[in-house]
Amino acid sequence: MRFRRPLGPTSRDVVVYASAIGQADNIGDSLLRRAYLDSLRKVGTVHVLLDVGTESYERGLALHPEDVRYFSRSLWLKSAWRSTATKRVVYAYSAGEMDVQPFYVRSYLKSAALVLKARLSGGSGVHLGLGMRVRRSVLARILGFLLLPNSMVRWRDRESAVWSGVGKAAPDWGFALGGVSEGDISAEASRNLVAISMRGDRGTISPEWISLVSSYCSRHSLTPIVVEQVRSDESLCVQLSKELGAELISWGNADNLEHENRLRGVYRNCAAVISNRLHVLVAGVTEGAVPIGLTTGDPQKLERTFGAAGFASVSIQVRPGTAAEPLLSRMAEMMLSRGELVRSAIAARRILADLESELVDSFSFESPSRTQ
């Protein structure tokens, strides 16, 4: 499918309607959407949908003065529909994760109608960086069908692309950030910390898990430091810091961006990051730390997202009664693969830069685009 060449608007008339709503107390939610908005902003003026009362989260998005902010979905959508009459509208679906439920069909049906209307004046829609939590065969195919009018569809894991039957996989937007470089491969000796952060909604951490992490730190002469990247994890982080005898980097009164920058400073001194939270691992590896997904639950979210970004397995599943030695050996193997992991993070960032270029080219006045 090709854009119809617009009759009136010029390239300066492109406007992007993007939802940036996410979990306000989660650094991962603000950092991935900040990267997404940074790319969308190069296409045209961004009209961004936000939740009320999330000032700290908004600062984590690093919005620009020229961004148009909305705190009502209905007003945001009405503005988008009105803009299709005079401008080239790009409707940008949200990034992150979706739990596929029937209400998404209604939502995507309405979005498809808006995208079809936008195409009449040279606009379209883009669906970039979303992943399905679990497979819902029929619903996933319906959503895929409703995404066909969009010019670009990229999922953050290969499985979502297969389930929907449309689009391809690309790295999560979180991989676009961070300061990791080839020079970090030879800087391992200066990294003497291991950051630890675990989900607070998965129950308490077992004594065996604590013993495993303590043994790992001792064997590799690393100092553990517990970090709170999601506010709701606070109580578990406090527990972990006590049981590991580790310093705790709590959130405190900082806004999302301030706290993210503080955590990135920690990760730059870490040989590894241990977590069952996806974007703790993503932020860690984009600052040069080895991502170790030490989880007591299902590791598929970690594996799928890192896999689409070009990484080999980053997770280690800790089951009750599992012997510690094989797990410690696996963790040691991951440490020895640090150079490969750093290169994968750099490559993922490069892929996202190419995706951004493709996005911008798709909506340049001179370059009509095919649906991809």
Confidence bin at 5 (pLDDT 50/70/90): very low
In a domain, 134, yes or no: yes
| 354 falls within a domain | no
State whether 39 and 158 are in the same domain. Answer: yes
Q: Are 304 and 197 in a shared domain? A: yes
- Are residues 192 and 117 part of one domain? no
Q: Is the pLDDT assigned to residue 140 strictly greater than 60?
A: yes
pLDDT of residue 188: 65
Contacts of 278 (CB under 8 A, 6+ apart): 28, 172, 301, 302, 305
User: Do 194 and 87 lie in a common domain?
Assistant: no
Q: What pLDDT does residue 360 have?
A: 96
- In the predicted model, is pLDDT for residue 280 greater than 90? yes
The verdict on residue 95 lying in a domain is yes
Tell me the sheet residues that pair with 274.
196, 292
Residue 100 has pLDDT above 70, yes or no: yes
Percent of the chain with pLDDT over 90: 83
What is the extent of the structural domain holding 250?
182-347
How many Cα neighbours within 13 Å face the side chain of 303? 11
In a domain, 163, yes or no: yes
Q: State pLDDT tens for residues 172-231.
A: 999 999 999 888 777 666 899 999 999 998 877 888 999 999 999 999 999 999 999 999
Asked if residue 45 has pLDDT above 70, the reply is yes
Strands (E), the chain: 14-19, 45-49, 68-70, 88-92, 96-98, 124-132, 152-155, 168-169, 193-197, 223-227, 247-249, 270-275, 290-295, 315-317
pLDDT: which is higher, 60 or 188? 60
Q: What would the pLDDT profile of 6-27 be if each residue is shown by its tens digit?
A: 344 444 589 999 999 999 999 9
Chain segment 233-249, per-residue pLDDT in tens: 999 999 999 999 999 99
Q: Is residue 363 part of a domain?
A: no
- Residue 128 belongs to domain with CATH number: 3.40.50
Q: What is the pLDDT of residue 372?
A: 60
Domains: count for the chain: 2
Q: Is residue 289 helix, strand or coil?
A: coil
